[in-house]
Chains A and B, each alone.
Chain A
């Protein structure tokens, strides 16, 4: 039991010891003078009604995380820890430098001060001014203002001063007559040496105070040295960061939508964008404003299962074939049934690539122009077939038939091959099914709704916040 308690106690002590040092670390470096850039800003690429997320980012981001890294490197190179900096800060924390104040700060400070003093110096309020002075000074001055200097001089001219001065006159006179008088002082050489050594200490006030001042000065010097070294590293990094500028980056950005293809809804189109524009010119180092050049590739992939499984719906919207089917369906004596006999497969993809350039002006507006140098569409539709069964009724005669439509495409032009399955006439007297073997192919074109957001639309690049 006792051993367990001891172990528990030790663990608690260790936790207490460790925790403060962790919490103390990393917050004692004064980075107030360093202006960080965001490192990146969100951008949106818009085409049609679609938009994709990207960013404009510094090649060498100048963020707090990067600076923290530089701080650690600087500390290590100087053999310091953050606790050393904390200790040094403590010693000089009250001695804030005037240079840290901006002009706005100065006005604020002045307002605070005048307000806090409650005494705005005005003519005739000398008593208040002296009150303020007394309020902030530790030692009092002589009370008898107006005659202090004369009084003090009178008080200083004591008999001792007058007598000693007379003694000096006498000694000087004696020296003129007897050079050997110097022997008296020569005998006291040791005391004189001691006095001369002591002279400086007298003026250095108390030794402890000097130690405090020296400690403070050393701490200040240490901090100055550290911040100079850190600033040097930061400047070098910032120079590199500024020099390398910014990139506009869309890295496999995605956007998707449901779309209708030949009248069949709920197909899904996904766009993927890779775009990289590098800053080529800027009017100011470190700014995002400037001219960018780069390349892009955008591709679209499609999920077409609704189209393939509902080919019987699609065919009604396919060119002249579809129009003919609809026309037959409208005829009252015809009864038509369309079924997807084979869903087959449909693969459609498109890849567009090229060069692009952008200009970001001082207000943050972006002008983008894209030059498409390659545009490839791959279409593989095969194995889809639709059966159309129909029948006609007239008095005493019933006509029946079946047509099979095979839908396929190798490019943006769907081909429909129609073949007659069977055709016959049924009368009360009997049936007649002649053997016919006829087929034909018709090209029904393409449903360009699929590309409506890209083709012919304006492409824009905008800051995400706008």
Chain B
């Protein structure tokens, strides 16, 4: 081996050394963060899922379907804000901020208010349970988990994966929060949640249940159309695709001599449930085509 060959060999060894060192660094880096990356991916999958409801709301708005748009925005907002408030609570419990309000920083920080945006979403109960679990308040957590599980929209085999939130370090929680607040800002730019005094209840996801409450209120007081309407409107809010909910609202408004509102519900109902027999019959009567 002459001098030139030695020099070339030495240079090759140096280059190989650099490559090997880089590979080791990459592998080490992956090994350290592999588990946490999975947690981030899980949370991001859910954020993407919730985002689709927001996009659906935009589509409904474009199509002039206001009630359905409110439903989709509300579902997205209730789920996203619940997740963000959960992250805020975890950050606070992990030592961030002097008070929880500091961490929440003026955003929604009340489980009832968040859930009221759309009772069809099971996630406010679930995340509320998660915070209780983190604080080892097992009985409270169990109660909330049960309330989430009653809602058929909740998928225990998949949704339990969101427990990764309680394993995330502060920097990752902050990263998740950043994504969530960005999405919240986008949603609340187009969606102004209406303040409702309808009390939170674990069965409120079910429009059938809410329609039954309306009937119960009429049984209790046959002229209490306002209360019955309150329940029917709640039913419509959690399922604006069911003609029966539109029928309930229309009939109550009719009995209260609010014909224009009755017409509104009949029209909107027929638009999303064009084959609904009751709505079609009401429409026929309204159009004066039936005079039994």
User: Which residues of A come within 8 Å of B, CB atoms?
Assistant: 92, 94-98, 101, 106, 108-110, 112-113, 115-118, 121, 123-126, 129-130, 132-133, 135-139, 141-142, 145-146, 148-149, 152-153, 156-157, 161-162, 164-169, 171-173, 175-176, 179-183, 185-186, 188-189, 191-193, 195-197, 199-200, 202-205, 209, 212-214, 216-218, 220-221, 224
Contacts and interface: CB of A to CB of B under 8 A. Distances in A.
B161 A185 contact: yes
Given A126-B218, A142-B212, A216-B271, A171 B160 contact: yes
Contacts of B19: none
Contact of B285 (A112, A212, A217): A112
A95 B45 CA distance: 38
Nearest to A96: B267
Interface of B: 35, 38-39, 41-42, 45-46, 48-49, 52-53, 56, 62-65, 75, 120, 129-130, 133-134, 136, 138, 141-142, 145-146, 149-150, 153, 155-156, 158, 160-161, 163-164, 166-167, 202-203, 206, 208-209, 211-213, 215-216, 218-219, 222-223, 225, 241-244, 247-248, 251, 254-255, 257, 259-260, 263-264, 267-268, 270-272, 274, 276-283, 285-288, 290-292
Contacts, number: 248
A87 to B, nearest CB: 15
Contacts of B225: 121
B209 to A, nearest CB: 6
A161 B202 CA distance: 13
Chain A CB count within 10 A is highest, among B161, B203, B213, B281, for B161
Chain A CB count within 10 A is highest, among B141, B208, B215, B255, for B215
A346 B153 CA distance: 105
Given A138-B244, A152-B203, A172-B166, A189 B153 contact: no
A165 B145 contact: yes
Given A130-B218, A172-B130, A141 B166 contact: no
B63 A175 contact: no
Contacts of B285: 109, 112-113, 116-117
A196 B64 contact: no
Contacts of B218: 126, 129-130, 133
A76 B158 CA distance: 53
Contacts of B212: 141-142, 145, 148-149, 152
A169 B142 contact: yes
B213 A149 contact: yes
A96 B283 contact: yes
Contacts of B274: 94-95, 212, 216
Contacts of B255: 121, 129
6 contacts: A121-B255, A133-B251, A189-B38, A199-B52, A203-B53, A218-B63
B213 A108 contact: no
A189 B267 contact: no
Contacts of A217: 63-65, 271
A121 B209 contact: no
A102 to B, nearest CB: 11
Contacts of A197: 49, 52
A218 B153 CA distance: 29
A96 B156 CA distance: 43
Contacts of A117: 285
B164 A164 contact: no
Contacts of A161: 146, 149-150
Given A96-B267, A148-B213, A192-B161, 4 more contacts: A101-B260, A138-B278, A172-B133, A172-B163
B203 A109 contact: no
Given A164-B145, A172-B141, A106 B259 contact: yes
Nearest to B79: A199
Contact of A137 (B149, B244, B283): B244
B56 A109 contact: no
A278 B218 CA distance: 67
A149 B278 contact: no
The 5 tightest CB contacts between A and B, nearest first, are A186-B38, A196-B49, A136-B278, A126-B222, A217-B63
Nearest to A214: B63
Contacts of A199: 49, 52, 153
A168 B133 contact: yes
A199 to B, nearest CB: 5
Given A182-B39, A196-B46, A199-B49, A168 B141 contact: yes
A192 B129 CA distance: 20
A384 to B, nearest CB: 77
Contact of B215 (A98, A133, A172, A173): A133
Contacts of A200: 49, 52-53, 56
A110 B230 CA distance: 22
Nearest to B62: A221
Contacts of B160: 167-168, 171, 185
